[in-house]
Structures are given as C-alpha cells and as structure tokens.
A and B are shown apart, each in its own frame.
Chain A
Amino acid sequence: MVFDLLERLFNRNKTGSATVAKDRLKMVLAVDRTEIAPQTIEQIRKEILDVIVRYFEIDENEKFDVTLERERGSTAIIANVPIRRIRPEHI
C-alpha cells in the first residue's frame, strides 16, 4: 500500500548512522580478519603505484587508496588509482 511505501522511503534514510556504522565495520573487519599490518598495506600501495606509473600518468591531486573489503566470506583487495592517460610510449 502507498503509505507503507512512503513510510519506508522516509524512514529508512540511506545516510543514517547505521549505514555508516556498517560500512566502517566491514572495512575494519576485513583488516582485522586477515591480520595484515597497516605497514604492509602501505608497502603494497607503494609497489602498486610503482607499477602503474610505468604505464600511466596519474593524477597526483587525487587520492590513491588501497583497501581490503570483505563480503560474505571472501576478502578482496581494492586499489583505486586515478589515472590521467596512458604514457605515450605505450600507445
């Protein structure tokens, strides 16, 4: 019925603190569960960056993130690298 729909739309706000809590927990638990040291993630970040810059010009102003994510029992490593373009020598 239309009221239930309206109620759900208004009540279940996506920006509620529960959604934030869940997202933060997922991130922190992915790291907790693998027991990987933050220094190791930083090392991986640097090495990935070294490889990427060989082939791409990257946007220095944008943030380059490496995070662990866990969904339903499997862990993924996510690297988000902002690139400008491929280096001319590789075209």
Chain B
Amino acid sequence: MSGKVIVITSGKGGVGKTTSSANLGMALASRGKSVVLIDADFGLRNLDLLLGLENRVVYTILEVLDGECRLEQALVRDKRQPGLALLPAVQRRDKSAVTPEQMQELTGRLAEMFNYVLIDCPAGIEQGFRNAISGAHTAIVVTTPEVSAVRDADRVIGLLGAAGVGEPRLVINRYRPQLAQTNDLMSVDDVLEILAVKLLGVVPEDEQVITTTNRGEPIVLAASPPPAGQAFINIARRLEGEDVPLMEFKLPAGNGFIARLRALFTGR
C-alpha cells in the first residue's frame, strides 16, 4: 500500500486544528479507508482526548523511536471505527525528541500500512512544526476568518512551499455566515483572495462541536451530523477526489426592516 501522508497545520493556535484532524480521520475511516492519526504536537498532546482514546494510550511515538516497543504496539485502534488508529504524542520530554529524519521514516512505514496518514501538527513555525511537516506529501491549513489567524496561515503556507510540501489546501473553520453577510466577518471569498490557495472546505461555527468534544466523540459520528459534522464529511469526500459542492448556509429570515418589508409584500 502507498498511503497519502497529509499534515494538518495552522499558524495560530486554537483555530480547531486538532478537532479537524480527529473529525477528518473519523470521517475517512467511516468511508471504509484505513487511517492513522499521528499526534505530532509533542508536549501538548490532545488528539487522544478528542477521540476519546485517552485511557487506552500505553506507548507513544517516543517508545517506538527508542525501540522500546514495536510500531504496531503503540497504535491505539478505535473501537467505533476499526479502520482508525492513533499514534499518540509524548507528553513528558521536550519537543525536539523527534528529528525530521525520524518522522520521514515513520510516516513512510505507516503509509505502507494505511490509506491515509494524517499528522496533527503543532501550531506555529518552530522546530516542532518543521519536524511534523517532514515526510508529508500535502498539507491542509486550518484557519478561522480572523485577521490574526489569516496572517499566520499565510506565513505557514509560505513555509510549506519552501519546504517542498505540495500545494496546501485550506479549511476555513468556525465560519459565521450571518456575520459574513453583514460584512462584519471576512467572507470565504475575502480569505481566499488574501491567501490565494485552493479551498478544501468551510466548517460553520457549531455549538455541538463543544458537546461532542466533551464526550470524546467526533461530531461526524452523530447519527444525523449537524452542519459542522456534515462539513467535515464533505471535506473527507473532497480528499477522496469527489466533487462535492460547498454547503449552502441557510440564514434565518431575520426581522430587520427589509425582511419585514419583504414579508409584507410577499406574504412570507
């Protein structure tokens, strides 16, 4: 097998990178693919918690690299989706514990075992980022539509290009269509015009992400996924090469002057 190695990254922290990783991994596995998620955010591991796998972590990436266990032993298999596995991050030692060469070797081995190798990268542009992106074929850059996040996303896109990681694609997370419509939030088009990269998907702000995260159940697992869950499923389908149109955000009619005028004349 020769799987795709994709790094999921962002410039700024807190934009939903780990949530995106967990949901994309789960969505791809639900579609019958074999997926391994690597938590490369050493020092600040969280992917295990978002996946609800925190109690089953025995070994981490570091024991694998030190030869203290076999790679297969360190992989935590998901019970809900047998196609999904997690390679947990180290929490104890310093972030430089893994070298770029070691990451390349590891992702290479995992790509032989899985259809997708998704790397959850630490935020920022420090050594941890450089380690995490080595070995990746392509990148998904996650941002929110805020000035600070978009600026930092631009920096990361530049660094990915310089490192020779193929054409990055963008996920705009925590999008609020109502604010964008009144021009109080940068729209999808605004962000794309500034960053000039290909769009992979737009995930609307959704309170249910908080409750599903609390339970350690990625939102894509819901029986009838709410908008954010559906958006992640769409992204997974696009990764698979399907042509899925962007979600239409249904805006409430509102009760402003124009809406009332329209209701008066059209009876709606």
Chain A residues close to B by CB (< 8 Å): 3, 6-7, 10-14, 16-19, 21-22, 24-26, 28-29, 32-33, 72-73
**Nearest B residue to A24 by beta-carbon distance?**
B147
Verify A11–B181 contact, CB threshold 8 A: yes
Write out the residue numbers on chain A whose beta carbons fall within 8 Å of the beta carbon of B154. Answer: 29, 32-33
Q: Does B186 contact A (CB under 8 A)?
A: yes
**Nearest A residue to B195 by beta-carbon distance?**
A29
Chain B residues close to A by CB (< 8 Å): 146-147, 150-151, 154-155, 158, 180-187, 190, 193-194, 196, 256-259, 261-262, 265-266
Bound CA–CA A42/B196 (angstroms): 29
**Shortest 5 CB-CB distances between A and B: which pairs?**
A16-B183, A3-B262, A18-B183, A18-B186, A7-B258
If A11-B183, A16-B183 touch, does A72 touch B196 (CB 8 Å cutoff)?
Answer: yes
Write out the residue numbers on chain B whose beta carbons fall within 8 Å of the beta carbon of A25. Answer: 147, 150-151, 194
| A6, A14, A16, A32: most-surrounded residue (chain B CB, <10 A) | A16
What is the distance, in angstroms, from A10's C-beta to the closest C-beta of chain B? 6
Write out the residue numbers on chain A whose beta carbons fall within 8 Å of the beta carbon of B185. Answer: 17-18
Bound CA–CA A54/B180 (angstroms): 48
Verify B183–A13 contact, CB threshold 8 A: yes
Write out the residue numbers on chain B whose beta carbons fall within 8 Å of the beta carbon of A12. Answer: 181-183
Write out the residue numbers on chain B whose beta carbons fall within 8 Å of the beta carbon of A22. Answer: 186, 190, 193-194
Bound CA–CA A62/B187 (angstroms): 35
What is the distance, in angstroms, from B264's C-beta to the closest C-beta of chain A? 10
Bound CA–CA A26/B184 (angstroms): 17
